A = this chain, B = another copy of it.
Amino acid sequence: MQQTKRLFDIDPWKIASTTLDKTQRRLQESLTSIGNGYMGMRGNFEETYSGDHHQGTYLAGVWYPDKTRVGWWKNGYPEYFGKVINAMNFISLELILNGQLVDLATTSYDDFYLELDMKNGILSRQYTVITPKTTVRFTFERFLSLDNPELGVVKFSAESLKGNGSLSVISKLDNNIHNEDSNYDEMFWEEQAINEVVDPFSYLTVRTIPNEFQIEQFTVTAAMTHISQPEVNPIKTTGPLVTSEIFEFDLLPNQPITLEKRIAIITSRDHPQSTQLAKATAILNNLKNNTYSDLRQAQDIAWAKRWELADVVIEGDEEAQQGIRFNLFQLFSTYYGEDERLNIGPKGFTGEKYGGATYWDTEAYAVPLYLALADSSVTKNLLKYRHNQLAQAQHNAKQQGLDGALYPMVTFTGVECHNEWEITFEEIHRNGAIAYAIYNYTNYTGDTSYLETDGLEVLIEIAKFWADRVHYSTTKGKYMIHGVTGPNEYENNINNNWYTNTIAAWVLRYTSESYYKYKEITPHVIPEATLKNWEDIITNMYYPTNDELGIFVQHDTFLDKELIAVNDLDPKHLPLNQKWSWDRILRSCFIKQADVLQGIYFFGNHYTLEEKQANFDFYEPMTVHESSLSPSIHAILAAELGFEEKAVEMYQRTARLDLDNYNNDTEDGLHITSMTGSWLAIVQGFAQMKTFDEHLSFAPFLPKKWEKYEFHINYRQRLLKICVDDTVTLTLLQGNPLDITLYGSQVTLTNVLTVPTQSV
C-alpha cells in the first residue's frame, strides 16, 4: 500500500489548508476544482502564479479533434482523438502592488488560507503580502452559479494592514491557452472578435482552429463586467487572444477596496456566434440589480437542495465523512443531468489528460447513483445520449467489419476516439454495460417507456453486434468470443473472457425477452431468423468454468498461469503498472479490477452465495486494484459475503482515492467517474441495498469504527431515508407504502421501521 499524500485538513464539509505546497500545486489545484455542469475549472489562482501549475478551464461539450498519434498504425484506428479542450481563463486578476507583480511563487506572503466549501461550492482564499512600505491582506472568493450556469463570479478585496500603497488590478479574459495533452503541441484556439462597441462590457470571442477532422467547430464568447468599491474607471486594452481592464486603487490602512468580476460565457453549442455577445451581455444586465450577496445566497440554496437528497452522513469517522462528501460534491459539479447532450467525463472539469468525455464508466458505475440521488430524468438523459449516438456506434462496428452497433471506449460524438488496438477494438464488453444500463433504469424506476422505444432500438443493434462478433468453434461445438480485453485490462487479446461471454449472451437474452414483451407496441422489428440465431447463441455459448474450484474461469488459459496471491508478492513490485514491464503484467495472474466479479456483481441474482464466495476467494487475492473502479465492486461483494474488514478496506480506498492521492496521479485531475464508488460501497455494500427483479432490499451492517451512517434514496416515486447505527431505521419520507425485504424478511414500509442492526 502506498503512503497517503494528504494536502488538506480533515473536515466534514471543507477542503481547507493553511499551506501552499509549491511542489504540489497541481495536486492542490485538482482538489479545489469547482464546476456547475456547464463549465468548471481547476483551483487556479486568479492572480499570476509562475510556479509549476496547470491552468485549466473547461466548457462542457466543447472539444477538439486532435490528430491521432500512434507509434505504429493499425488498420481501423480512428483518425482523431477528441480532446477536452482547455478554454479561456476568465477568472484572471493580475495584481501589481507598489509596482511589483504579486506572484506567490516568488512574492513573500504570510497567513495563507485556502478553502473549498462543499456545502455551496465557494472557493476562497486569503493571504498577506508584506512589502517594506505596505502590508496588505488579499481575499478572493469565487463560484460558478448553479442558477445561471453561464455565470461565473469572482470577488476580490484588498486591505492595507499597515502603510499606504498603490494597487493595480488587471482583470482579463485570456485565451492564450494550450492543451497540455495536445498530440502535436498545436494551438486549438484562434481569436474571432474582441471589444467592439459594447461598453460597459469587455468581451472576447474565440473559435477552435479548423483542422482536417473538424466535425464540429466551436465559437465561445465571454463578456465581463466589474463592480468596484471605491468606484474606479478602468482602462481597457486588448492583445492577441486577450482583453483586459485595468483598475488602479490607492490602499490606505483599514480602508478595504473590493472588486467584483462577473463573467458570462456562451458557446455555439447553445447560441450561434452572431447572438453570443447579446446573450452574454443580457445575462450580465439581468443581474445588474443583484448584489454579490444575492448571488451567493442563491448559490447556497441551490447546493443545499442537492445535499438535502444526496448527503451521506457518517458519524465516528471524519475521514470517511469528508471522502464521501468530496466525491458527491465533485460528481454533481461535473454532471447533474440538465443537458442530455452531455455525459460524465472521467476527469470532469478538473483536467484534460486522456481527453474524451464519455466512457462506459457512466453506465457501469454512475447510473446506479444517479438513479437513487437524482430525478429519474437524469438517468434517462444519460440513456438518450447513447440513443442519439446510435448511428456513430453503428459506424464503429462497421469499422471493424461487424454488424450492429459498438459503443465507443472514449468519445464526444459517439465515434470511437481511442487508439490502442487491445482497448479500442477488443475491450468490447463496454457494449454490454450500455445495454445493462437500460435494464438497470427500467428495473429500478419501473418506467418502461424508454425500453419500449429507443431503448429497444439500442438493444437490438448491440445484440446484432454480439451475434456477429461470436464465432462457432466446430472443435468445441460452442459459440466463442476470441480476442477481447475484459474489465481486467492487465490481460489483452484473450479468448472467452467469462465476463464478456456472459454479458454478450445476457444482452441477446434481454433483447429477445424485451422484444417479445413489447412486440405489439414497439416500432422495431426483429426477423424470426435473427431471433432464432440469437437463441442458438444463448443456448450454446461457451463459458470457461472449473468445477473442482467451483469458479468461473476468467478466460480460456487463465488457470495455466502461475497463480500467486498479491500478499505473497514482495511489495517492492507494487504498483505493478509502475514496476513491471507490460508483458510481465499481462502474463501474470494479477488482476487490475473486478472481472469475473464484475459479472457476479451485475447479475447478483443469478448466482448462489456459494458461487459468489468461491469466486471471490479465488480472484480477490490476485487483485491489485490498480484501477480506481476496482475497490467499490469488491467492497460490495465483500460486504455481501460478510468480509467486513475487506469491505471497509475497499471503501477507504475508493472514498479518499483523490483526497489521499492513492494512485499518485490526481495532479492530472480528479477520478470523477470513480467517485460513485464510495457511495456504492456504502449503499450497495454496507447497507446491502439491492434492486433486482423490481424489488428493493437491504441488509445493513455498521462498520466497527463508525457510530452511524445515514442516506436518502429515490425509489419509484418514494423518498426513503436509511439510518444505520445500532438499529436500522427506514423512513418513508415521500410516496406510497412499499414492500421491501430487510435482512431477508419481507416487510411493508409505510412510515418508519426500526430493527436491530445485524452484524455481517
Using CB atoms and an 8 Å cutoff, list the residues of chain A in contact with chain B.
68-72, 74-76, 399-401, 419-422, 425-426, 471-476, 480, 482-483, 492-495, 556-557, 559-563, 577-587
Query: Which residues from chain B contact A70 at a C-beta distance below 8 Å?
Result: 69-71
Contact between chains at A580 and B471 (CB < 8 Å): no
Q: Which 9 A-B pairs have the closest CB atoms?
A: A76-B581, A425-B583, A483-B587, A74-B582, A70-B71, A482-B587, A493-B493, A471-B562, A473-B560
Chain B residues within 8 Å of A493, by CB: 422, 492-494, 586
B562→A472 contact, CB < 8 A = yes
A401 touching B75, Cβ below 8 Å: no
Residues of B within 8 A of A556 (CB): 556-557, 560
Cα distance A70–B472 in the bound complex, in angstroms? 36
Instruction: Give the Cβ gap from A407 to chain B, nearest Cβ, in Å.
Output: 16
Extra pairs beyond A72-B419, A400-B581, A482-B561 (17, CB < 8 Å): A69-B69, A70-B71, A74-B582, A75-B577, A76-B581, A400-B583, A401-B584, A421-B583, A472-B562, A492-B492, A492-B493, A493-B493, A493-B494, A493-B586, A495-B557, A556-B557, A556-B560
CB-CB < 8 A to A563: which residues of B?
474
A422: chain B residues at CB < 8 Å are: 493
Residues from chain B with Cβ under 8 Å of A76 in the complex? 580-583
Give the distance in Å from the alpha carbon of A426 to the alpha carbon of B422 in the complex.
14
CA distance A579 to B399 in the complex (A): 10
A562–B468 alpha-carbon span in the complex (Å) = 13
Task: Specify the chain B residue showing the minimal Cβ separation from A582.
Answer: B74
Number of copies: 2
Q: How far is the CB of A500 from chain B (nearest CB, A)?
A: 13
Contact between B582 and A421, CB atoms less than 8 A apart? yes
Pair B475/A578 contact, Cβ less than 8 Å: no
What is the bound-complex CA distance between A494 and B475, given in angstroms? 19
Query: A579 to chain B: which residues have CB within 8 Å?
Result: 75
CB–CB B581/A75 < 8 A? yes
Which of A401, A580, A581 has the most chain B CB atoms inside 10 A of its CB?
A: A581
Closest chain B CB from A426 CB (angstroms): 6
A483 surroundings in chain B (CB, below 8 A): 583, 586-587
Name the residue among A72, A473, A492 with the largest chain B CB count within 10 angstroms: A72
CB A355 to nearest CB in B, in angstroms, measures 12
In the complex, A256 Cα to B492 Cα: how many Å?
A: 68
B561 x A471 contact (CB < 8 A): yes
In the assembled complex, which residues on chain B have CB atoms less than 8 Å from the CB atom of A72? Answer: 419-420
For residue A476, which residues in chain B have a CB less than 8 angstroms away from its CB? 560
Evaluate contact between B473 and A562: CB separation under 8 angstroms.
Answer: yes
User: What's the least CB distance linking A521 to chain B, in Å?
Assistant: 37
Closest partner residue, chain B, to A475 (CB atom): B559
Q: Which of B75, B561, B580 contacts A580 (CB 8 A)?
A: B75
Q: Is the Cβ of B71 less than 8 Å from the Cβ of A419?
A: yes
Across-interface contacts of A580 in B (CB, < 8 A): 75-76, 401
Assembly CA distance A483 to B555 (angstroms): 14
Contact status A560-B419, CB under 8 Å? no
Residues of B within 8 A of A69 (CB): 69-71
A69 to B587, CA, bound (A): 25
Q: How far is the CB of A284 from chain B (nearest CB, A)?
A: 43
For the complex, give the distance between the alpha carbons of A75 and B586 in Å: 12
Q: Is the CB of B74 within 8 A of A482?
A: no
Q: Is the CB of A75 within 8 A of B582?
A: yes
Report A642 CB to chain B, min CB distance, Å: 30
- On chain B, the residues within 8 Å of A586 by CB distance are 421, 483, 493
The CA of A586 and the CA of B481, in the complex, are separated in Å by 12
A581 & B473 in contact (Cβ 8 Å cutoff): no
Cα–Cα distance between A493 and B561 once the two chains are bound (Å): 14
List, in ascending order, chain B residues with CB within 8 A of A420's CB.
71-72
Q: Do the beta carbons of B71 and A583 come within 8 Å of each other? A: no
21 contacts between A and B (CB under 8 A): A68-B71, A69-B70, A71-B420, A72-B419, A74-B582, A75-B581, A75-B582, A76-B581, A76-B582, A400-B581, A400-B584, A421-B582, A421-B586, A471-B587, A472-B562, A474-B563, A482-B557, A482-B560, A492-B492, A492-B493, A493-B494
B581 to A425, Cβ gap below 8 A? yes
Q: Give A580 to B402 CA distance when docked, in angstroms.
A: 11
- Among A71, A472, A474, A476, chain B packs the most CB atoms within 10 A around the CB of A71
Q: Shortest Cβ distance from A423 into chain B, in angstroms?
A: 8
A419: B residues at CB distance < 8 A: 71-72
